[in-house]
Amino acid sequence: MFIDIPSELEAALIDRSLPPWELDGSFLAQSTMERYQTELTATARFEETAAILRHALTGEGGGYAVLRLGNLAKALGTGDRFRRLATAFAAEVAVPFSPFPRWPLWKDIGVKVDKDPGRSSGIGYNAFHMDLVNATRPPDYTTLLCVRPDPLGGGPSILSDAHAAVARLSEDSRALLAESAYHYGIFFDLFGVGEEYKPFPILEGSDPGEGFVRFTAKMLERSELGQAHADAARELAEELVRGQVSFMLQPGDYLIVNQRRFLHGREALRSGQETVPATDRRLLLQLFLRAPAGAGSAA
């Protein structure tokens, strides 16, 4: 699931300067997507690489990919030119958008030592979850672009095949997870993700192996659940950990996760974060993608 950029494509992209993007509401404008595609399709091996990326995300057994953009980041820095290229790759998968009107298209996820350790910007273990779990239309893809890893060496990303974990559960547990008995979080000032879904089922009523697995391990501690439903969700959490993969994102790595297939999280950062200047701490940029209507989990 790690995709290296061919050297001839890297060289061409370093010389390529894409125009600033335009938005249509909170979504990347269609005109920008077409402009980016037109410019990059003419670049050697771009279409081949984009096809490999889409297959890794939606093909059989797939669900996540890491584009290795580190050489581009070294050559261009991680400012506007680099982010436009990353946005262009994302637009080959689905439509980039921001569900948070108060944030730009790319949202910073830094490290704050005084935050809840389990949050994305905290320093502790960030347990398996899908983003915007309590929205009727969660983003189809969540993506994370690594600007800086933890300089102390912690915080590897973790991913787990949600449907494979569900398949290992008992029928009784799956039946409980399919009931609308779960709730988590708040729903405020969001765009493009439908309405608040409360309560919601963890397993949607689609065929096995399809649809969202609406899970966040945080609801086990922060939501009032009946014992049977909590036990079923806890069993799922254990299976997710049992099947997890783990890797450290390097500078320029671009992780894209198909939320209809995989859940994600992060191991704790290494202790001593308070000794690291804020400008040197781990920094990721987050971008969400919406698959075209009727595309399901495919782009």
- What CATH number does residue 64 fall under? 3.60.130.10
Mean pLDDT on 253-277: 97
Tell me the per-residue pLDDT of 161-184, one tens digit each, with 9 for 90 and over. 999 999 999 999 999 999 999 999
Q: Is the pLDDT of residue 201 over 90?
A: yes
Rg (CA), the chain: 19
Phi and psi, residue 277, nearest 5°: -55, 145
Please determine, for residue 51, whether its predicted confidence score (pLDDT) is greater than 70.
yes
For residue 294, the model assigns a pLDDT of: 59
Tally the domains of the chain: 1
Is residue 298 in some structural domain?
Answer: no
155 part of a folded domain:
yes
Quote the pLDDT of residue 207: 67
Report pLDDT digits (tens) over 205-249: 766 677 899 999 999 988 889 999 999 999 999 999 999 999 999
**264 within a domain of the structure (yes/no):** yes
| pLDDT value at residue 295 | 61
- Residue 270 near residue 153, CB atoms below 8 Å: yes
Domain assignment present for residue 296? The answer is: no
Is residue 39 a part of any domain in this protein? yes
pLDDT for res 165: 98
Say yes or no to pLDDT of 134 above 70.
yes
Residue 282: its pLDDT value, please? 98
The pair of three-digit structure tokens given for residue 122, joined into one six-digit string: 């905290």
In a domain, 193, yes or no: yes
Domain residues for the domain of 150 are 2-290
Using CA atoms, how far residue 182 sits from 130, 137, 199, in Å, is: 14, 16, 5
Q: What is the pLDDT of residue 258?
A: 98
Give the separation between CA 145 and CA 101, rounded to whole angstroms. 20
Angle between helices 80-91 and 30-41 (to 10 degrees): 90
* Residue 210 confidence (pLDDT): 76
Residue 132 in domain: yes
pLDDT of residue 204: 87
Q: Tell me the mean pLDDT in the region 269-288.
A: 97
> Would 166 be classed as within a structural domain?
yes
